[in-house]
Structure 1
Amino acid sequence: MHNTLFVHASPHGKHALGYRLAQKILAKETARNSNVGLIERDLLAAPLSPLTHRYASALASHNIGDSIDAALTESEQLISELEQSDRLLIATPMHNFSVPAALKLWIDHVVRVNRTFIASAEGKQGLLQDRPSTVLVSAGGMLQGDNPQPDFLTPYLTLILNTIGIRNIHFVYLQGLAFGEPAIDKAWQQAQAALIEADVLTNEMP
């Protein structure tokens, strides 16, 4: 069975435009292959635990092959979800030009030295398998075209995923959402067109 890990971080939950677009992607995957499983991680409905001094201490002392300290149990579960997946789908808003706090906490749990990457003289080396990854980014402002707003999310999330071994990443933007219904409709159509061009969606889908 092929699994998709779907991570989403919008405070609007299932009403978020990114979530709705992700559902179209998942529907296409199922239509193409009925033997596709879904691992869903809703970072708002089920908030992750904050990192504590116990986590930091366990992180500093953990080596590859060590038994898991209780402080790393949640981190281990999130990493396991990545390891079980063949595709990664992230739907996230842009908050203050970068990732929202809920997604940043997920990152801090899964980007773990001696577990998802190692540090060497040549730099950090990812330990996870690469897999096709799609990131849906929703933003109130414009991220592309004339006079785009700053975007620290794209390079940051690219570097983060590269660090743990994921390099096949495709970003799609739902932009200008703060400018009313016509802008939202345009963003929806443009994002779908980008996904069709990338063969993530098809013209036949409603």
Structure 2
Amino acid sequence: MTRILIVNSGPYGCDSHGYRLANRMIADAGWDRVELTVRDLVRTPITPIGSDYAHAITSNQPHDASAFVESEALISELERHDVLFIVTPMHNFTVPAALKLWLDHIIRINRSFTATPHGKVGSLKDRPTFVLVSSGGFHVGDRARQVDFLTPYLKYALASIGIENVHFIPLQGLVFGDEAVASAIGEAMQAFRAHVHEHPYQSRTAGSLG
């Protein structure tokens, strides 16, 4: 059984190019007995961090404290899955607000990371993670005309909780017509297939994915 979590943060939900592509990639990979969970961060919004949560953090309340209910559910959901797909647009050079809230809840001291004199040390198991980044223009390559803060930020944020096996797949130039969209999807699929071919973990048991 390969348990896969899709975290979808785009405004178009299941109609987005990124979400449809993630499902196509999962089907194409040939992972054995897939169990798929989809968390749509726009359709089911996450509560912003409030004073109750902040107080619970600073007063070292236990994991089952009422202020941590939503955070605990999101972290536990992530822990249950072997592979993570994050489907996100690039909004104003970085992650959209919906995805930032998800990160705010899963990056939690003494739960998903431990603070040390050398910085955060992740407490979660690493897992293959694919980040599909959609943009109307270009943020990667020779045609890029804007700074990409999303990739380094998300890479650093996920590493802080122990997820370092992260692969970014751009899906860019989407406002330039059907031909550009088809080209972007083709390039993204090619990049994904190359990775899966190089790291064929579809037949391994849960907990040992590479």
TM-score (norm 1): 0.90
Percent of aligned pairs sharing the same letter = 49
Query: Alpha-carbon deviation of 1:67?
Result: 4.6
Q: Which residue does the alignment assign to 1:33?
A: 32
Which of 102, 110, 117 is the matching residue for 2:113? 117
Q: Which residue does the alignment assign to 1:45?
A: 43
Contact 1:22 1:89 in 2 (8 A): yes
Supply the AA of the counterpart residue of 1:101.
Answer: A
What stretches of structure 1 of length at least 5 have no aligned partner?
A: 201-206
Deviations 1:127-173 (A, max 9, x none): 00001111100011112222412100000000000000000011100
Q: Which residue does the alignment assign to 1:172?
A: 169
Contact 1:39 1:81 in 2 (8 A): no
Supply the AA of the counterpart residue of 2:154.
Answer: L
What stretches of structure 2 of length at least 5 have no aligned partner?
A: 198-210
SS at match of 1:32: coil
SS at match of 2:196: coil
Which of 157, 161, 173 is the matching residue for 2:158? 161
Contact 1:4 1:38 in 2 (8 A): yes
Alpha carbons of structure 1 residues 23 and 115: separation in structure 2 relative to 1, 3 Å? same
Deviations 1:57-101 (A, max 9, x none): 1122226xx352111100000000111111111111000010000
Are 1:134 and 2:130 matched, yes or no? yes
**Matched residues in 1 for 2:27 and 2:186: separation?**
18
Task: Detail structure 1 runs of 4+ shifted over 4 Å in the superposition.
Answer: none
Q: Which residue does the alignment assign to 2:4?
A: 4
Q: Which residue does the alignment assign to 1:88?
A: 84
Contact 2:63 2:111 in 1 (8 A): no
**Matched residues in 2 for 1:106 and 1:181: separation?**
32
Q: Which residue does the alignment assign to 1:204?
A: none
